[in-house]
């Protein structure tokens, strides 16, 4: 996108699909073996399809969607923050392969171009659809916008509950992990960052 002039709509294609080749048949066989080894045989009629369901459920969680990040010329010369708050997302903790879910606040200070609003949510969902740690997910969303939008600044705040902490292990429910990533003026200028946090209801 950086080469485009202000009058040309730009469609940055964000590729979806699995990052590496998948063998769902082998995965289903292995899932059956895993459950059996755990003392949960899958030969009863009610659970015969469970290995396949488990594989499809996991595969769905780790398949990023494809989309086009459409941008438009910033004809009005809008220079203030564009902020999308409370974008729901779910991802998969790469340590336990259990879900973490919460909300994302994504904002940017426009330069010559503005991005289609829905694309901020698509971008969050895209990067969340793979095994992740929350810190990396936060950074990847912000870095993509920083690299592709030529914005004056980019900010991302994620707040999530990790089921590997709430349902098992330490078993603390209700606690949230909050992470943030800042680029450009939102990193350099406390006033801009404070405006983001206030408008997101976090200030
Ligand atoms: N930094 C970070 N840690 C995470 C994230 N998701 C899960 N974890 C942590 O990854 C760590 C893995 O620790 P281990 O000691 O290897 O695994 P464990 O024995 O299952 O640990 P417990 O969860 O404490 O029972 C745990 O502390 C998790 O809470 C994440 O997004 N970011
Ligand atoms: Zn975990």
Q: What is the pLDDT of residues 122-180, one digit of tens each?
A: 999 999 999 999 999 999 999 999 999 999 999 999 999 999 999 999 999 999 999 99
Same domain, 55 and 81: no
Same domain, 116 and 48: no
Same domain, 57 and 86: no
pLDDT at 2 over 60: no
Backbone torsions φ then ψ of 198, nearest 5 degrees: -65, -50
Q: Is residue 66 part of a domain?
A: no
- How confident is the model over 22-61, as pLDDT tens digits? 999 999 999 999 999 999 999 999 999 999 999 999 999 9
Whether residue 186 contacts residue 192, with contact meaning beta carbons closer than 8 Å, is answered with yes
Q: Which domain holds residue 39?
A: 24-61
**Sign of the CA dihedral with 82 first, then 86, 90, and 95 last:** positive
Q: Whose CA is nearest to atom 4 of ligand 1?
A: 133
User: Which ligand does the CA of 163 lie closest to?
Assistant: 2
Same domain, 94 and 130: yes
User: If pLDDT is split at 50, 70 and 90, which confidence band does 10 have?
Assistant: low
Q: How far is the CA of 53 from the centre of ligand 2 (A)?
A: 21
Same domain, 89 and 134: yes
User: If pLDDT is split at 50, 70 and 90, which confidence band does 6 have?
Assistant: low
pLDDT at residue 132, as a whole number: 98
Name the domain count of the chain: 2
**All residues at 6 or more sequence positions from 106 whose CB lies less than 8 Å from its CB, including other chains:** 83, 84, 87, 120, 121, 123, 124, 141, 145, 155, 156
The DSSP H or E segment spanning 38 is none
ipTM of the complex: 0.96
């Amino acid at each position: 996108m950086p080469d485009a002039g202000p009058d040309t709509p730009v469609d940055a294609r964000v590729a979806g699909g699995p990052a590496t080749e998948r063998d769902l048949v082998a995965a289903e066989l292995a899932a059956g073996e895993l459950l059996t080894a755990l003392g949960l045989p899958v030969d009863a009629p009610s659970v015969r399809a469970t290995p396949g369901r488990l594989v499809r459920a996991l595969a769905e969680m780790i398949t990023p969607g494809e989309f086009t990040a459409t941008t438009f010329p910033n004809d009005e010369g809008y220079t203030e923050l564009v902020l999308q708050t409370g974008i729901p997302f779910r991802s998969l903790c790469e340590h336990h392969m259990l879900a973490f879910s919460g909300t994302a606040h994504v904002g940017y200070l426009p330069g010559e171009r503005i991005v289609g609003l829905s694309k901020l949510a698509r971008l969050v969902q895209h990067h969340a659809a793979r095994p992740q740690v929350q810190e990396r997910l936060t950074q990847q969303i912000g870095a993509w916008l920083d690299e592709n939008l030529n914005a004056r600044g980019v900010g991302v705040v994620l707040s999530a509950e990790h089921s590997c902490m709430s349902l098992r292990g330490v078993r603390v429910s209700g606690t949230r992990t909050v992470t943030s990533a800042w680029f450009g003026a939102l990193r350099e200028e406390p006033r801009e960052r404070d405006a983001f946090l206030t408008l997101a209801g976090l200030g």
